[in-house]
């Protein structure tokens, strides 16, 4: 026969275990509905209000998948009345910039999209912006830098000094074009320049269409230079001057929203954990990510002072 004291201990342990599970489930449920961190108040305040989805494009643009996913989600969400693309970027790789640009174009078939630039909306950042219905930036925002860049280097003399002699076996004349171990031939330079010109033409065409501007006018502006927000406004590259608050007002007006809208950001629920584990640290290394972008092989819609 079981000892009453032992039976009592087992029941106590079982009750404690059940209580622990209940508390854990309650905690999980709590953090799933309370958006701790930067976006929390926006989530709670969204009850009964028209919503605007905010998609952030920060830093060098090297991938597009997550940004495109967010844009599509907001475009298909009937509770979201409009979208703001918040940009603080020097640009980046050509293909991801084009993918985000095209996702914005597609989203505009369903709702209004406004591009809002923070400190920087240059090159690929501007390429993305021109897909929106309207562009707004601060007077001191740096934007423009319409152009294409490919960074190459030649270390042939250095290799010679340390006694290294590169040897290449290739299948065609242009297979190692851009090699760091020898100068480019004139024929190679033409091949690369033709490629750059083609990608540049794609940028010019996107700006001309997005800004309803003649290509000749775009080419006058598209010599690679950056412009302040004031300058961009004066030459027709942006529609209005202002920060995020003004962007929200403009977006609400375009979408026919009366009163103050609620801003919805992606994955707000776990923003506090995301910041703790990644975002706060990642921001300190943006300069490093930009340097990697500059020196990774490829053609870029990227503003760089290097």
pTM score, whole prediction: 0.77
Within-domain flag for 175: no
Phi/psi of residue 120, nearest 5 degrees: -145, 130
CA angle in degrees (0–180, nearest 5) for 275-97-78: 65
Within-domain flag for 57: yes
By annotation, the residues acting in catalysis are: 123, 175
Q: How far apart are CA 136 and CA 229, in angstroms?
A: 9
- The answer to whether 115 and 135 have CB atoms below 8 angstroms apart is yes
pLDDT of 272 above 50: no
Within-domain flag for 19: no
pLDDT value for 15: 58
Within-domain flag for 191: no
Within-domain flag for 122: yes
- The 10s digit of each residue's pLDDT in 59-88 is 899 999 999 999 999 999 999 999 999 999
Within-domain flag for 294: yes
Within-domain flag for 21: no
Over residues 40-64, the mean pLDDT reads: 75
Q: How far apart are CA 76 and CA 255, in angstroms?
A: 15
Q: Which domain holds residue 103?
A: 36-149+214-302
Instruction: Please tell me the total count of domains within the chain.
Output: 1
Within-domain flag for 203: no
Q: How far apart are CA 118 and CA 105, in angstroms?
A: 21
pLDDT value for 151: 84
- The 10s digit of each residue's pLDDT in 167-213 is 889 899 989 888 888 899 999 999 999 999 999 999 999 999 999 99
Q: How far apart are CA 130 and CA 260, in angstroms?
A: 26
- The 10s digit of each residue's pLDDT in 90-123 is 999 999 999 999 999 999 999 999 999 999 999 9
| Strands 91-93 and 300-302, bridge-based pairing | antiparallel
Of 130-144, 160-174, 265-279, the one with minimum mean pLDDT is 265-279
User: Domain holding 127: CATH number?
Assistant: 3.90.226.10
């Amino acid at each position: 026969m079981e000892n009453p004291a032992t039976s009592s201990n087992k029941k106590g342990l079982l009750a404690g275990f059940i209580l622990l599970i209940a508390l854990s489930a309650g905690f999980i449920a709590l953090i799933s509905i309370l958006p701790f961190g930067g976006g929390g108040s926006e989530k709670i305040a969204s009850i009964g209000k028209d919503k605007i989805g905010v998609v952030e494009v920060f830093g060098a643009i090297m991938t597009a998948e997550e940004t495109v996913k967010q844009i599509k989600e907001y475009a298909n969400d009937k509770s979201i009345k409009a979208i703001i693309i918040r940009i603080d970027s020097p640009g980046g790789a050509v293909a991801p910039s084009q993918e985000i640009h095209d996702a914005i174009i597609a989203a505009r078939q369903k709702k209004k999209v406004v591009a809002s630039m923070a400190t920087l909306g240059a090159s690929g950042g501007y390429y993305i912006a021109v897909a929106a219905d309207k562009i707004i930036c601060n007077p001191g925002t740096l934007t423009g830098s319409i152009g294409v860049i490919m960074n190459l280097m030649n270390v042939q003399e250095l290799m010679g000094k340390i006694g290294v002699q590169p040897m290449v076996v290739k299948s065609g004349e242009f297979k190692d074009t851009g090699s760091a171990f020898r100068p480019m031939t004139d024929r190679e330079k033409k091949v690369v320049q033709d490629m750059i010109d083609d990608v540049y033409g794609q940028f010019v065409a996107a700006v001309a269409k997005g800004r309803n501007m003649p290509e000749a006018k775009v080419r006058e502006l598209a010599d690679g230079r950056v412009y302040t927000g004031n300058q961009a406004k004066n030459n027709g590259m942006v529609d209005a001057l202002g920060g995020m608050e003004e962007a929200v007002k403009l977006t609400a007006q375009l979408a026919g929203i009366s009163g103050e809208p609620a801003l919805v950001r992606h994955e707000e629920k776990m923003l506090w954990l995301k910041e703790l584990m990644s975002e706060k640290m990642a921001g300190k290394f943006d300069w490093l990510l930009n340097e990697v972008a500059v020196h990774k092989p490829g053609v870029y819609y990227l503003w760089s002072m290097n």
